[in-house]
Amino acid sequence: MREYNELIFEISREGRIAYTLPACDVPETCIKSSFPASMLREKELGLPEVSEVDVIRHYTLLSNKNYGVDTGFYPLGSCTMKYNPKINEDMASLPKFTGLHPYQPEETAQGALRLMHDLDGMLAEITGMAQVSLQPAAGAHGELAGLMIIKAYHQNRGDSKRNKIIVPDSAHGTNPASASVAGFDIIQINSDEKGAVDIEALKAVLNDEVAGLMLTNPSTLGLFEKNIKEIADLVHEAGGLLYYDGANMNAIMGYTRPGDMGFDVVHLNLHKTFSTPHGGGGPGSGPVGVSKKLVDFLPVPVIEKQADKYVLNYDKPLSIGRVKSFYGNFGVIVRAYAYVLTMGAEGLKKASEMAVLNANYMKERLKNHYYLPIDDICKHEFVLSCFGPDQHEVSTLDIAKRLLDYGYHPPTIYFPLIVDSAIMIEPTETESKETMDKFIDAMILIAEEAKTNPELLKSAPHNTHVRRLDEVKAARTPVLKWSK
Amino acid sequence: MHPYIPNTTIEEDQMLQSIGIKNTDALFSDIPAEVRLTRKLNLGDSMSELELSRFVKGLADKNKSIDDMVCFLGAGAYDHYIPSIIKHITSRSEFYTAYTPYQPEISQGTLQVIFEYQTMIANVTGMDVANASMYDGATACAEAGMMAVENTKRKSLVVSKSVHPEVRQVLATYMKFHGVEVVELDCKDGVTDAEALKTAVSGTTAGVVVQSPNFFGIVEDLTEIESITHNSKAMLIVNVIDPISLGILKTPGELGADIVVGEGQAFGNSLNFGGPYVGFMATTNKLMRKMPGRIVGETTDIDGKRAFVLTLQAREQHIRREKATSNICSNQALNALISSIYLTTMGKNGLKEVAEQCASKAHYAYDQIIGTGKFKPVFDKPFFKEFVVQSSRKASEINAELLKHNILGGYDLVKDYPGMENALLFCVTEKRTKQEIDKLVEILKGM
């Protein structure tokens, strides 16, 4: 295939256009007389001039340099890169959804409001929460909203000294970052040797300044917190609340629910568990669900059913306020709704069952070739630690780059931080045994190459569009836009 | 069996055997009995594709879209022409089924798209650099507020009431929890009151937030605001909710903005009942390393070939955790792609032409509506494509009447601006025809 390395600005030619507009059918306003000269643009717009075919070819050729779930296996741990069903795309692009103005009268958007109200209820049922808000735009945004709710709850009780959030060292980086943005101080606690919450370490930091504990369960190691009930009781006894990071919800649907484990606040990632596409980094959607005592603190507006009508209720005096314009990433919400309806109760449980079976199968087959620091039943993902503490000739990065040569998106690497040289593998339920077997074969081959020809790994990848990049140069002398 | 779950009982058995267990229950034995769900989720049975499609279309049909109504409503969400090629490109699953480009060697498509997007946003706003995008205009503004606070080590923000009400609400939420005071500044004649600004800013002001064109559609004169802001060593944050206006208006960069944020929906994104949209953020070289969010930079690979990569990651949450510039993790890559295709397709001449047509049609509609004698002007200031008019009747009554004629009327301002009874904010884009405008005017005249 021909190599394509041009920027859109470089193929621009003066006078070319890719658009058509009808002739202006009203008297043209003289821009110069409508605005003072000081308000008008003097500089030329720095945009390309290309024809329509130029646009199509440019982006098509760029798309060829990408790798998505539709291209192949994408076992990126913690990101749940499951298949994105196509009917969901069709549903989200129905003109009577895409063509709705957020401020049009409620009576003209009853279908959309009902859809959102329904999904609220479904997600509440799946998580065991009393109510859900679909407003947050992404997982980290849902975390932020959830933490604000925790803060508002304590403040409303007059308990204003609770300004600390406990975060385990295995947590996603967003957890402490979100807590900080919500105005909390962070207490990090170390995990025990099995990657679980160290109960003694937790007890040692619990006091009347603790607002809550953030937890991912199963943890970022893919392991279920067996002591979850004791943890929840300890935090609650100390007057704190329990926050559930829903990144790993794909492991437990229909088996257990955060609400039943004792969590007070939950966020979900519709782009993970509920099959909506990751979009190259977004848009996502990060609904936040809460237990009964926190319902009044959810962001406004709240979608409610009053008699036979769905309405947007802004009259919630205890609400944390608004965290985003309008009502959420509606287009993403439609896809997740279609997914839940397609799967049904049994389908969702089956998805979790197979996600866990697939992960355990891969773990068992790979543990003889890579170092598995915690050899236990895993949930939907597991974490390897390269070849173990004594083998350092090739790195986790080298293994990841070599996987590119074999046509795979590598697993998540160097996370969680508590595992040295981590390789975090999450197959999801949408992959067949054959796909996983081929990936396992490639991993085993790479383990062999690491011994016989380490240079091959260190210089990988060899057959991608570009090879290893100079990231230091990118950061030291940043070039963040094209210029002539 | 289920179409999204390929393994059959045959493979299940093979895998169970390989693991050395009898059934999958063993894999869930780590979940204590006391927290297990012992009943089926109350969600109903799975639907086939046909059933699903019929059901969801049934819900959609309960809505009226802008195909069913002629839209004169804007207020931060705009009904512009969307070139057909956008959907053809964005439906390429190489783009939409990928994730954040952590592995640059197989993500050059997404990375180059973002690099080009950053370039276009920087050029359109007149700033040095832009990030890879944010959730929406309102959260981008809140992030800009935090950026100003972090950089000046000051703890308050001044925001003009001519900034979009929802942007102010989101800003208020973020700042309340972040321990930052937000002072809202009254408007005078529909624009930020420079005299009031002088008294509002002080040595504790981290930033001044204004919007242009503002919520009333008026182009703000930023000259004096800029000097007041910078005299007190605060940062000027310019919010652009209607970026189409930048096709003809002077860039915030030229007007002295330190941070420009805004809503990119108008760049080719569907109305979508309010989301997903895309926030943009641009700033100066000086503040580049303080910017939140993903940023893509140019570099070379080991063969010396030009390539693109996520860069300046030392600012970000996955490295700095609680000390990060923001908790933001993802961007709105697919919407940034839409914006890029839009700006590419419209190009240098198209964006200007769209802006000129919007201005012409809005001014025509304004003149005609005032000409009915039933409405009077509220402000006497230069406006772009939205304008405020007032009548003797309640705005909600007028809108209800218009809706009977399948016209989506203006934004009822009294919701957010007590005292602005009977005032409507109309929006006219290049999509509106003379005939549609004349019809609107005729109905308004007859009321």
Query: pLDDT class for A336, splitting at 50, 70, 90?
Result: very high
Share of chain B above pLDDT 90, in %: 95
Q: Determine whether the interchain pair A97/B28 forms a contact, defined as Cβ–Cβ distance below 8 Å.
A: no
Handedness of CA B282, B285, B287, B293 (dihedral sign): positive
Backbone φ and ψ for B413, nearest 5 degrees, come out as -75, -20
Q: Does B76 touch chain A (CB under 8 A)?
A: yes
In this structure, are strands A241-245 and A265-267 parallel, antiparallel, or unpaired? Answer: parallel
Fold category of B85-343 in CATH: Aspartate Aminotransferase; domain 2 (3.40.640)
Average pLDDT in chain A: 96
Distance from CA of B108 to the nearest CA of A (A): 5
Distance from CA of A471 to the nearest CA of B (A): 7
Interface test with B, best of A14, A47, A406 (most B CBs within 10 A): A47
pLDDT at B316: 76
Residues of chain B with C-beta less than 8 angstroms from the C-beta of A410: 103
Is the pLDDT reported for residue A299 higher than 90?
Answer: yes
Distance from CA of A65 to the nearest CA of B (A): 5
Q: Does A69 touch chain B (CB under 8 A)?
A: yes
Is the pLDDT reported for residue A306 higher than 80?
Answer: yes
**Nearest-by-CA chain B residue for A52:** B345
Average pLDDT in chain B: 96
Distance of alpha carbon B191 from alpha carbon B69, whole angstroms: 31
The pLDDT of A297-310, averaged and rounded, is 97
pLDDT at A389: 85
Helices (H), A132-289: 139-156, 174-181, 199-205, 228-237, 258-261
Per residue in A103-130, pLDDT tens? 999 999 999 999 999 999 999 999 999 9
Per residue in A354-371, pLDDT tens? 999 999 999 999 999 999
- Put simply, the chain A residues between 235 and 294 with a CB less than 8 A from any chain B CB are 252-257, 260-262, 275, 277-284
Share of chain A above pLDDT 70, in %: 100
Q: Does A439 touch chain B (CB under 8 A)?
A: no
Distance of alpha carbon A251 from alpha carbon A217, whole angstroms: 9
| Residue among A272, A275, A419 at smallest CA distance from A336 | A275
| Residue among B387, B378, B365 at smallest CA distance from B445 | B365
Question: Edge-to-edge strand order for the sheet containing B259-263?
Answer: B129-130, B279-283, B259-263, B235-240, B205-211, B156-160, B181-185
pLDDT at B132: 97
Q: Determine whether the interchain pair A177/B324 forms a contact, defined as Cβ–Cβ distance below 8 Å.
A: yes
Distance from CA of B251 to the nearest CA of A (A): 7
Is the pLDDT reported for residue A33 higher than 80?
Answer: yes
Helices (H), B155-299: 165-178, 194-200, 222-231
The pLDDT of B282-297, averaged and rounded, is 96
pLDDT at B321: 78
Is the pLDDT reported for residue A373 higher than 90?
Answer: yes
What was the ipTM of the complex prediction? Answer: 0.98
**Nearest-by-CA chain B residue for A71:** B94
- Residue B286, number of CB atoms within 10 A of its CB: 10
Residue for token pair 């202006």? A24
Q: Does A332 touch chain B (CB under 8 A)?
A: yes
**Nearest-by-CA chain A residue for B438:** A26
pLDDT at A1: 57
Per residue in B317-341, pLDDT tens? 777 777 777 888 888 999 999 999 9
Q: Does B155 touch chain A (CB under 8 A)?
A: no
Residue A411: asked if its preceding bond is cis (omega within 30°), the reply is no
Distance of alpha carbon A279 from alpha carbon B335, whole angstroms: 8
Q: Does B189 touch chain A (CB under 8 A)?
A: no
Per residue in B357-413, pLDDT tens? 999 999 999 999 999 999 999 999 999 999 999 999 999 999 999 999 999 999 999
Per residue in A155-191, pLDDT tens? 999 999 999 999 999 998 899 999 999 999 999 999 9
Which segments of chain B belong to CATH 3.40.640.10?
85-343
Query: pLDDT class for A4, splitting at 50, 70, 90?
Result: very high
Is the pLDDT reported for residue A208 higher than 80?
Answer: yes
| Residue among A142, A97, A349, A369 at smallest CA distance from B60 | A97
Distances (CA, A) of A193 to A196, A204, A206, B31, B77: 7, 18, 21, 19, 52
pLDDT at A29: 77
Is the pLDDT reported for residue A2 higher than 80?
Answer: no
| Residue among A474, A332, A325, A451 at smallest CA distance from A398 | A451
Query: pLDDT class for A43, splitting at 50, 70, 90?
Result: confident
Is the pLDDT reported for residue A476 higher than 90?
Answer: yes
Distance of alpha carbon A349 from alpha carbon A251, whole angstroms: 9
Of the candidate CATH numbers 3.10.310.30, 3.90.1150.10, 3.40.50.1820, 3.30.70.20, the domain formed by B70-81+348-446 belongs to: 3.90.1150.10
Q: Determine whether the interchain pair B30/A377 forms a contact, defined as Cβ–Cβ distance below 8 Å.
A: yes
Q: Does A121 touch chain B (CB under 8 A)?
A: no
In this structure, are strands B407-408 and B386-390 parallel, antiparallel, or unpaired? Answer: unpaired
Which segments of chain B belong to CATH 3.90.1150.10?
70-81+348-446
Of B35, B99, B363, the CB nearest to A34: B363
Two tokens at B418? Answer: 């007590």
Distance of alpha carbon B114 from alpha carbon A430, whole angstroms: 29
The pLDDT of A397-414, averaged and rounded, is 98
**Nearest-by-CA chain A residue for B301:** A469
Per residue in A69-107, pLDDT tens? 999 999 999 999 999 999 999 999 999 999 999 999 999
Per residue in B88-129, pLDDT tens? 999 999 999 999 999 999 999 999 999 999 999 999 999 999
pLDDT at A390: 78
On the CB side of A2, CA atoms within 13 Å amount to: 8
On whether the CB atoms of residues B20 and A216 are closer than 8 A, the answer is no
pLDDT at A73: 98
Is the pLDDT reported for residue B313 higher than 90?
Answer: no
Per residue in B205-230, pLDDT tens? 999 999 999 999 999 999 999 999 99
Residues in chain A: 484
Distance of alpha carbon B13 from alpha carbon A224, whole angstroms: 24
Interface test with A, best of B19, B67, B177, B290 (most A CBs within 10 A): B177
pLDDT at A462: 97
Residues in chain B: 447
Per residue in A413-438, pLDDT tens? 999 999 999 999 999 999 999 999 99
